[in-house]
Amino acid sequence: MMFETWWLLALPLVFGLGWMAARFDVRQLISEQGALPRSYFKGLNFLLNEQPDKAIDAFIEVARLDPETTELHFALGALFRRRGETERAIRVHQNLATRPDLPEPEREHALFELGEDFLRAGLLDRAEESLRRLMSGPYAASAKRVLLELYEVEKEWQKAIEAARELQTLEQTSYSLQIAQFCCELAQDALQRKRPEDAVKWLNQAVAENPANVRAPILLGDVAAAAGDARAALGHWLGIERQDASFLPLVADRVVKAYASLQEEGAALEWLRGLLKGKLAPEVLDTAYKAELEVNGPEAAARLMREQLRRQPTLLALTKYFEAQAAVVTAGAPSAQPAGADAPAEGAEGADGNGEQAQETTAIRDLLQLRTRNLARYTCRECGFRARLFYWQCPGCNRWETYAPRRSETLG
């Protein structure tokens, strides 16, 4: 009975305290909202309506009225950098970083943003200096990621390897794909400086880091070819089929030259004809056409393209067929007729007819070449950047191995 009476007396007191606390919170909220300038809410409204220019003007007014609003300064700096106004972003973040009353976490934040500003402005030394001050603490991983990006821009590949290894330890995430590519870049630099031993050392390291890396055997083949060992080069290049056959078109021209240096052009043609019967045909068609044309002449090249049109009809194969036909006509050789075409009756056409045929064939060839010249492109899987050449690092998003070795448009 005593317990129940006590609760009856306590309940009104609890409700009263809750009501007073709620009144206090409401008054505090109204007070805080009243203390914020109207420009703050205008800026937010402009941001929500995707009007960053007007938002910046409104936030600048707020920052002028209340210089202590560090969060607002960070927002302004980010907006300036997004718009490409890196000088203004640098000024905002420098002012924050040099404020003596700024807490250490916010100072580190300002240094990190400043490093990003310098990187975007192309002031790479100053960016590295700012980011190097953050090698420990909450911004260490973020700073090292930006440093890695910076070293890639500067082509400081050994520093990039060190930064990637540090990130690998810090984040417990594999960076083997990137490290292998950095090793390949160092190998390529060594090849350009005529230092094949260094190139081989870096390429072996790339394979050890990432056994699935296809670029390393391609470059090892280049090293062997430069040393005059065509057979060893072929071993590296043809061995790519065991890793990923889709990369074979990248070495098709190299394989043809290596066989030619060994005076085994027939082996090269046999290899290319085998690829023409599979899914890689659109990628090796140009190489196969040129090799057949050089070894056996335009009539054989026309026959090869005619066979390819029967097997896999594509616009590219048709273009190459008419290129060969035009070469046949120009050389004065008998024209290779497409499958199913009726041969002209003897004497039905004279010299004028042959001249008209040559003009028509040339006109069709030129039209097809114009149509196919800019169609086939390699496409980045991450950002969609399209390029005529194959890149190991996308020029658009700077990511590694995002280009498939097959072009997105095969001219079918």
- 190: Cα separation from own chain's centroid: 24
CA–CA distance, 188 with 210 (Å, rounded to integer): 17
- Name beta bridge partners: 378: 387
If we measure between CA atoms, which residue out of 289, 221, 283, 227 comes closest to residue 255?
Answer: 221
Check whether 184 is labelled as a binding-site residue: no
- The token pair at 401 is 């191995």
Check whether 397 is labelled as a binding-site residue: yes
- Name beta bridge partners: 403: 380
Using an 8 Å Cβ cutoff, are 247 and 283 in contact? no
If we measure between CA atoms, which residue out of 328, 411, 341 comes closest to residue 377?
Answer: 411
| DSSP three-state, residue 134 | coil
Q: What angle do CA 237, 243, 247 make, to 5 degrees?
A: 60
Spell out where 98-185 has E strands: none
Q: How many CA atoms lie within 13 A of 274 on its CB side?
A: 10
Residue ranges of the annotated binding site for Fe cation are 380, 383, 394, 397
Residue ranges of the annotated binding site are 380, 383, 394, 397
